[in-house]
Chain A
């Protein structure tokens, strides 16, 4: 019985994809008739899916793009502050108030300021609420909602068994406390780092998971953005540096190694100092690369369908869709696992750095 249901579902999926592809082809043909060649560009499709943008793209039906406009905030020396919605650009096709999104060249994807003759004047300071920033806002709202309500029930139910959402998240909080913070930092000092570790852990976890949901208010590639992971790593770096003791700096500037490793060329201090910078750098790259790769692979598998359909006809696309969908589902499930692992790894390594910053004397 389950077999039959399975095969039915596979056929259903295939049919859906088939119709999707045929519609795309229709749009393609009409577009070609209109004189604009519009072919499926897999590289562009994948990159656009994971990169930041000035509007939140939801779907494209033929020529009509459905997207949520986001606020653009610009500062230029000539025109001072400029705040307007990204819908003014009409998906990047038009110029507004002498600002334009560059379609190609070295400033591709950036907003440039033009003079009246239409020449590129300069790059304005761009503090727009891009898709990533909007995604951060969404996840922060989720984060605050979850944990403020847990805090409320924690206050109300003093010395009682946890209930509801509190029940779901308390084991994770306890895990961060007992299996991450305590062993890495030590019984005495772990408490001061708990708020940061918990915030980082749940911020990363919720962003990772929300990034996997491909429906509008979610699905922004937040933790796969290097700017975001850079800020997280910087926070870890500064918390580490502001909680150091004498012992930590001695290990860096005057480690206990044979003298010739320190004089006349300070080899070990250089290595140690590099390590100080490398640690947050590695944190930044690891999280960013893992999440980005997960998103990339899923979109690549989906775009495979369209590539095959374009090259070898709809039937090939149909055949490939079965495999592609199966792989995409598998990758998404793997990404759920990766979401947890990356949040854990980032938190654990941060905790280890905090623990190393002021080692307890033996």
Chain B
């Protein structure tokens, strides 16, 4: 059999065998093998995608946590500031009240003093009037006795009165 002349018997058998092998392998080997490869690739890529998604979720969660902490800190600062303000206000109010109270007491004392003074003056005036009356009485009596002495007396009495 020559090399370069194809033998029809070989071609005949080869056509049949290769055709059958192609059919069998296509149906029972390549279909499941290629499907398994595709499925595995799909599952691997799915797993990678979900891992990536989980990583992103975690990153998002962390960012959210940071935000919550920052907000809480801000709120804390706010509360502290408010408390300080309130304290300052209370202290200031108390001081004012105390001042007002003191002022009132002083005012009251002053009024009391003024009243006492007026009363004392009035009392003195009354006594002077009574004394005057008394002196006048005595002068009148002395005049009756001696007019000159009377004058002297009145004089001295008045002098005394002025001194008082």
> Residues on A close to B: CB < 8 A?
50-53, 109-110, 126-130, 132-133, 136-137, 140, 143-144, 147-148, 150-151, 154-155, 157-160, 170, 173-174, 177, 191, 194-196, 198-199, 203, 225-228, 230-232, 234-235, 292
Known contacts A159-B43, A292-B3; A196/B22 CB under 8 A: yes
Partner of B7, one of A155, A191, A227: A227
Considering the complex, give the chain A residue whose CB is closest to the CB of B44. Answer: A159
18 A–B contacts from the bound complex (CB under 8 Å): A51-B1, A128-B9, A132-B7, A133-B10, A133-B13, A133-B17, A136-B14, A143-B21, A144-B21, A151-B31, A154-B32, A154-B37, A196-B26, A203-B18, A225-B10, A226-B5, A227-B7, A227-B14
A128 to B1, CA, bound (A): 13
Partner of B13, one of A50, A129, A157, A170: A129
Chain A neighbourhood of B32, CB < 8 A: 151, 154-155
> Would you call the interface of chain A mostly helix, strand, loop, or mixed?
helix
The minimal Cβ–Cβ distance linking B39 to chain A, given in whole angstroms, is 6
Partner of A173, one of B6, B11, B22, B33: B33
A292 to B3, CA, bound (A): 9
Partner of B22, one of A126, A155, A177, A195: A195
A128 to B4, CA, bound (A): 19
Judge whether B25 and A155 touch: CB under 8 Å.
Answer: no
Judge whether A133 and B14 touch: CB under 8 Å.
Answer: yes
Partner of B37, one of A51, A170, A196: A170
A355 to B30, CA, bound (A): 20
Known contacts A140-B17, A227-B14, A235-B18; A147/B29 CB under 8 A: yes
The minimal Cβ–Cβ distance linking A358 to chain B, given in whole angstroms, is 20
A118 to B70, CA, bound (A): 112
Partner of A199, one of B5, B12, B30: B30
Chain B neighbourhood of A226, CB < 8 A: 3-6
The minimal Cβ–Cβ distance linking B43 to chain A, given in whole angstroms, is 5
Query: How many chain B residues have a CB neighbour from A under 8 Å?
Result: 34
A53 to B10, CA, bound (A): 11
A50 to B14, CA, bound (A): 18
A226 to B8, CA, bound (A): 10
Judged by a CB distance under 8 angstroms, whether B74 is at the interface is no
Partner of A130, one of B9, B25, B36: B9
Judge whether A155 and B9 touch: CB under 8 Å.
Answer: no
The minimal Cβ–Cβ distance linking B20 to chain A, given in whole angstroms, is 8
Judge whether A232 and B25 touch: CB under 8 Å.
Answer: no
Considering the complex, give the chain B residue whose CB is closest to the CB of A230. Answer: B6
Known contacts A126-B9, A127-B12, A227-B10; A199/B17 CB under 8 A: no
Chain B neighbourhood of A292, CB < 8 A: 3
Judge whether B25 and A136 touch: CB under 8 Å.
Answer: no
A140 to B84, CA, bound (A): 94
Partner of B33, one of A136, A147, A160: A147
The minimal Cβ–Cβ distance linking B40 to chain A, given in whole angstroms, is 6
A329 to B163, CA, bound (A): 160
Considering the complex, give the chain A residue whose CB is closest to the CB of B42. Answer: A159
Chain B neighbourhood of A144, CB < 8 A: 21, 24-25, 29
Judged by a CB distance under 8 angstroms, whether B15 is at the interface is yes
Judge whether B6 and A140 touch: CB under 8 Å.
Answer: no
The minimal Cβ–Cβ distance linking B105 to chain A, given in whole angstroms, is 95
Judge whether B21 and A140 touch: CB under 8 Å.
Answer: yes
Chain A neighbourhood of B144, CB < 8 A: none
